[in-house]
Amino acid sequence: GKSISSKALRSNLNALSLESETCVAKVTPERIYSVACHPNPSHIIACAGDKRGHVGIWNVDQYGVNAKQDDESSSDGVYLFKPFNGAVSSLTWNQSGTSLLAASYDGSVRSFDVEKQVFQEVFATYSDDDVYKDKLGYNRDGGYRSWLQSLELDHRFGNDCFFLSTSEGNVMHVDLRSKGKVTFDQTLSEKKINTMSFHPNGYTMATAGLSTVVQLWDIRSMSDSTRKKPKPLAWQNVGKSINSAYFSPSGKRLLTTTMMDHLDILEDAHLASGAVKTPKTRIKHDNRTGRWLSTFMARWHPTSFSGDEIFVIGSMAKPRQIEVFGGNGGLLREISGGALTAVASRCCFHPSAEKLIVIGGNSSGRVTIAR
């Protein structure tokens, strides 16, 4: 699609508003762990997953007047489901917007079919009990301390393959084509892996989590037959736990949110080897969300705007705000307004390259839309 030029980006950013009460809705009953936005360029459909396994889907354009005629209950355009028994750690729409993939701490991945309006299990980790022998995730469950922490679609194969990272420090590649298989399941860390990110080149993967090290891997060296632990190509020692590390749309940058109270941007990390000593850019940022708020995870806009890669992150600052930065680390806009009354821990952009829309989810289950 078209991308926004720098001038248009500037005016789009300046126009973002959080003043109207129609900017905010209660989308889930509990604290939000994950947010996603439907790719349809002409609608805003915001999704949030919460701590107890609810997924709320908010059709923002249905808010208020036009929906009231249908029936009072759906007057705010929010539809609530409870597909899981644990926190919803990841939400990802497929590119066509026909299905939403969700991963949970309960060890399952479910797909929401937009046409049928139902969630169906597509993968789950099971114990080694014989009753699960024919399940794809047989013997992949590490017990009660094991859960699915993040999910990312494998862009090489449309919607049929995805990566999962776990609390046990494993990364799995699940292939749902034909009969389905787990292509690999490798232990890459002794501790929880919060995120894995797949580079546009189709083989470099970045992992980050409680081990305090960002690591880069070549997935071509991974298979389910070898139990040998692969060696990372490159790594960066951060020193404290890492909330997330994501490649930018071009793959040139790797953006890391850390408990060291900064955001790091590495350049060409996929070409690095050995220890990466210093990031290209380091931004001071208060990431001390405390125990009652979900942590911050800076997220890229999925399309770059005429060469401008931008990212969004919540903020501890008052008055409450959501921050948008440029790929070079410059703060482009602090979005605040009457509709934003709490810290938006988990944020994302609408995938549209035509118009800038920012979505934030907070710890009381409310979602705020800046547009």
Q: Give Cα 257 distance to the centre of its chain.
A: 13
Instruction: Answer for the pair 121, 108: CB distance below 8 angstroms, yes or no.
Output: yes
- Give the C-alpha separation, 310 to 304, whole Å: 7
User: 139 — alpha (psi -120 to 50), left (phi > 0) or beta?
Assistant: left
pLDDT in tens, 119-154: 999 999 888 888 888 888 877 876 666 899 999 999
Element (H, E) at 9: helix 6-15
Q: How confident is the model at residue 354 (pLDDT cuts 50, 70, 90)?
A: confident
Backbone angles phi, psi at 15, to 5 degrees: -80, -15
Tokens 């939403």 label which residue? 100
State the Cα torsion 24-26-28-29 to the nearest 10°: 150
Q: How confident is the model at residue 334 (pLDDT cuts 50, 70, 90)?
A: very high
Instruction: Answer for the pair 49, 87: CB distance below 8 angstroms, yes or no.
Output: yes
Mode of pairing for the β-strands spanning 253-258 and 88-93: unpaired
CA nearest 336: which of 325, 345, 323? 323
Residue 67 has pLDDT above 70, yes or no: no
Q: What is the pLDDT of residue 132?
A: 80
Element (H, E) at 66: helix 65-68
- Give the C-alpha separation, 356 to 83, whole Å: 31
Q: Report the length, in residues, of the chain.
A: 371
Q: How confident is the model at residue 72 (pLDDT cuts 50, 70, 90)?
A: very low
Residue 190 has pLDDT above 50, yes or no: yes
CA nearest 294: which of 343, 245, 334? 343
Q: How confident is the model at residue 311 (pLDDT cuts 50, 70, 90)?
A: very high
Q: Among 71-75, 84-88, 244-248, 347-351, which is the least confidently predicted range? A: 71-75
H helix and E strand count, the chain: 2, 29
Q: What is the pLDDT of residue 127?
A: 85
Residue 73 has pLDDT above 70, yes or no: no
Instruction: Answer for the pair 314, 344: CB distance below 8 angstroms, yes or no.
Output: yes
- Give the C-alpha separation, 258 to 22, whole Å: 33
Q: What is the pLDDT of residue 251?
A: 96
DSSP state, residue 305: B
Q: How confident is the model at residue 1 (pLDDT cuts 50, 70, 90)?
A: very low
pLDDT in tens, 95-116: 899 999 999 999 999 999 999 9
Q: What is the pLDDT of residue 6?
A: 80
Cβ atoms within 10 A of the Cβ of 172, count?
23
Instruction: Answer for the pair 363, 344: CB distance below 8 angstroms, yes or no.
Output: no
- Give the C-alpha separation, 139 to 161, whole Å: 20
DSSP state, residue 179: T
Residue 70 has pLDDT above 60, yes or no: no
Q: What is the mean pLDDT of residues 302-319?
A: 87
Cis before 41? omega within 30: no
Higher-scoring residue by pLDDT: 369, 8: 369
Tokens 């409450």 label which residue? 320
State the Cα torsion 200-201-202-207 to the nearest 10°: -70
Q: How confident is the model at residue 336 (pLDDT cuts 50, 70, 90)?
A: very high
Q: What tokens does 248 get? A: 């930018």
Q: What is the pLDDT of residue 68?
A: 46
Instruction: Answer for the pair 309, 344: CB distance below 8 angstroms, yes or no.
Output: no
Measured CA to CA in angstroms, residue 128 lies from 30, 146, 180 at distances of 33, 14, 18
Instruction: Answer for the pair 316, 237: CB distance below 8 angstroms, yes or no.
Output: no
First to last CA, the chain: 20
- Give the C-alpha separation, 79 to 55, whole Å: 8
Q: What tokens does 198 get? A: 């797949």
- Give the C-alpha separation, 196 to 148, whole Å: 12
Q: Which amino acid does the sequence have at 283?
A: I
pLDDT, the chain, mean: 91
- Give the C-alpha separation, 119 to 281, whole Å: 41
